[in-house]
């Protein structure tokens, strides 16, 4: 069904921010954008068509959350209290909290429950203006349970009433409880990549490269398995220490290296040369009370910056991408424009979504009508959902 939208201000994110005042946008019956421009120039066939009409002070592309761990079970509220009392990530992991506690909850949950809770989470994300969500597995830790998580993601991905889903096989997240042989675990997970690709259960693989996680050499093996299977690579890099993950991301042609609180100039330059996006996760740094990544250095190096929620039950206990944008501006020093491009055009680029993250004729009509006067108001005020209407492929989602 065709739909005609009027906006006092429309931000295309296509050419830098690309703003149009007193704008109109027409969604075609095919769910793609048929026309954009000044309202006064709206061609007569669209102006006079008997189509639903909507209006809003502000229209932007649908937001894209390019880094989440949104398929989980259980709750880690008890661990949060320990963390706030001064227990660090390593102490929590050693006490049986952290990733392993979510692993246990995921192991006990039925696949049906995982699908249900993921679907509910995605619906709430849509209500915040999010139309695409990258979702990682990674709490399974064994081949059987990773496949269970990936099937749950695929089930949510098949629904058109939720944000579109980009699935990632987070193959190297932590060792399963009782596993003392890291090399064997890496071999086992690398051995699963071909099957995951053949069953179309993921578009990317991911590994957590850090001092207390997996090494560059281990993650390289995974990257090589992904290349063979035709899957892209994203990496968790430099959250607690710089062990060379950014350079590895560049070497593997990864689409994105995320966290980056610890990153050297050489790593930033390598990312820029290989066009690896920087996935900034302000909510996680906020929860952990960390010093922000060196945004000025990333800017200088010319690295595309993406902002994502990192939605997970431990270190980023939120589903809100707008909250991540707001903290990104307040704590990381991003400009509001950088934060918006980081959840639209640059996020789409990091997920290989052609035509995503921008408002352009022919692109999917993924867009948000906001009850806000200006795009800067996406990051101030914050904390309250202000999306009036959220469209994916021209159809309303998130209600
Ligand atoms: Zn993550």
Distance 59 CA to ligand 1 centre (A): 29
Q: Give the model's pLDDT for residue 148.
A: 98
pLDDT of residue 116: 97
Distance 221 CA to ligand 1 centre (A): 20
Is residue 354's pLDDT more than 90?
Answer: no
The alpha-helical segments, DSSP class H, found in the chain are: 44-47, 77-84, 89-94, 99-108, 111-127, 143-157, 182-198, 216-229, 245-252, 265-273, 282-288, 295-301, 321-330, 336-342, 345-350
Task: Say whether pLDDT at 328 is over 90.
Answer: yes
Distance 354 CA to ligand 1 centre (A): 23
Residues near 317 by beta carbon (within 8 Å), at least 6 away in sequence:
76, 80, 287
pLDDT at position 256: 98
Sheet holding 305-307, edge to edge: 63-65, 130-136, 164-172, 204-209, 232-237, 256-259, 277-280, 305-307
**Residue appearing with tokens 């939605």:** 311
Alpha carbon of 41 to ligand 1 centroid (Å)? 45
Choice among 95-109, 218-232, 322-336 with the minimum mean pLDDT? 95-109
Instruction: Please report the pLDDT score of residue 87 as a whole number.
Output: 83
Give which of 236, 198, 202 is closest to 219, Cα–Cα.
236
Say how far apart CA 12 and CA 361 lie, in whole Å.
10
Give the helix, strand, coil percentages of the chain, each rounded to 5: 40, 25, 40
pLDDT band at residue 234 under the 50/70/90 scheme:
very high
Residue 90 has pLDDT above 80, yes or no: no
Please tell me the distance from the alpha carbon of residue 79 to that of residue 356, in angstroms, as a whole number: 37
Give residue 94's pLDDT band: very low, low, confident or very high (50, 70, 90): confident
The region that residue 7 occupies, defined by phi over 0 for left and psi between -120 and 50 for alpha, beta otherwise, is: beta
Measured CA to CA in angstroms, residue 230 lies from 114, 160, 202, 253, 332 at distances of 27, 26, 10, 12, 34
Confidence of residue 105 (pLDDT cuts 50, 70, 90): very high
C-alpha 242 – ligand 1 centre gap (Å): 16
Q: How far is the CA of 136 from the centre of ligand 1 (A)?
A: 8
Quote the ligand 1 centre to 103 CA distance (angstroms).
15
Q: Over 90: is that where the pLDDT of 32 sits?
A: yes
Task: Render pLDDT for 115-146 as a digit per residue (tens, 0 to 9).
Answer: 999 999 999 999 999 999 999 999 999 999 99
**Mean pLDDT of the residues in the chain:** 95
Structure confidence at residue 311 as a pLDDT band (50, 70, 90): very high
The answer, yes or no, to whether residue 93 has pLDDT greater than 90, is no
Question: How far, in Å, from the CA of 9 to the mean position of ligand 1?
Answer: 34
Residue 8 Cα to ligand 1 midpoint, Å, equals: 37
Enter the pTM of the model: 0.97
243: pLDDT strictly greater than 90: yes
pLDDT digits over 180-209, tens only? 999 999 999 999 999 999 999 999 999 999
Banded pLDDT at 85 (limits 50, 70, 90): confident
* Residues whose CB is less than 8 angstroms from the CB of residue 187 and which lie 6 or more positions away in sequence, other chains included: 221
State yes or no: pLDDT of 379 exceeds 90.
yes
């Amino acid at each position: 069904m065709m739909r005609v939208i009027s906006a006092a201000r429309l931000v295309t994110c296509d050419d830098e921010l690309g703003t149009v005042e007193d704008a109109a946008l027409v969604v075609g019956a095919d769910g793609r954008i048929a026309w954009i421009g000044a309202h006064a120039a709206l061609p007569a066939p669209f102006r006079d068509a008997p189509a639903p009409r909507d209006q809003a002070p502000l229209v932007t592309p649908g937001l894209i959350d390019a880094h989440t761990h949104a398929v989980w079970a259980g709750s880690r509220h008890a661990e949060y209290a320990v963390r706030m009392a001064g227990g660090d990530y390593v102490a929590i992991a050693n006490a049986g909290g952290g990733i392993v506690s979510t692993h246990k909850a995921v192991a006990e949950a039925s696949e049906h429950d995982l699908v249900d809770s993921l679907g509910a989470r995605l619906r709430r994300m849509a209500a915040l203006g999010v139309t695409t969500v990258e979702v990682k597995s990674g709490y399974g830790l064994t081949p059987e349970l990773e496949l269970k998580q990936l099937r749950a993601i695929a089930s949510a991905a098949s629904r058109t009433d939720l944000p579109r889903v980009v699935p990632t096989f987070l193959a190297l997240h932590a060792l399963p409880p009782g596993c003392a042989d890291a090399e064997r675990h890496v071999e086992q997970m690398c051995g699963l990549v071909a099957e995951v690709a053949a069953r179309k259960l993921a578009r990317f693989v991911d590994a957590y490269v850090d001092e207390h996680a997996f090494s560059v050499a281990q993650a390289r093996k995974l990257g090589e398995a992904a290349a063979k299977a035709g899957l892209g690579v994203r990496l968790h890099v430099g959250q607690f220490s710089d062990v060379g993950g950014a350079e590895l991301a560049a070497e593997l042609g990864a689409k994105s290296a995320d966290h980056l609180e610890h990153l050297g100039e050489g790593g930033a330059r390598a990312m820029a040369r290989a066009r690896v996006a920087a996935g900034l996760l302000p909510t996680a740094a906020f929860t952990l009370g960390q010093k922000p990544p060196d945004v000025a250095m990333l800017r200088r190096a010319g690295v595309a910056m993406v902002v994502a929620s990192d939605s997970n039950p431990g270190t980023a206990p939120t589903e809100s991408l707008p909250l991540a944008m707001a903290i990104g501006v307040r704590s990381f020093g991003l400009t509001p424009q950088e934060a918006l491009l980081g959840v639209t055009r640059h996020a789409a680029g990091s997920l290989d979504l052609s035509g995503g993250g921008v408002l352009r004729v022919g692109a999917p009509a993924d867009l948000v009508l906001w009850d806000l006067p200006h795009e800067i108001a996406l990051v101030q005020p914050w904390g309250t959902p202000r999306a009036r209407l959220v469209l994916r492929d021209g159809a309303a989602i998130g209600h």
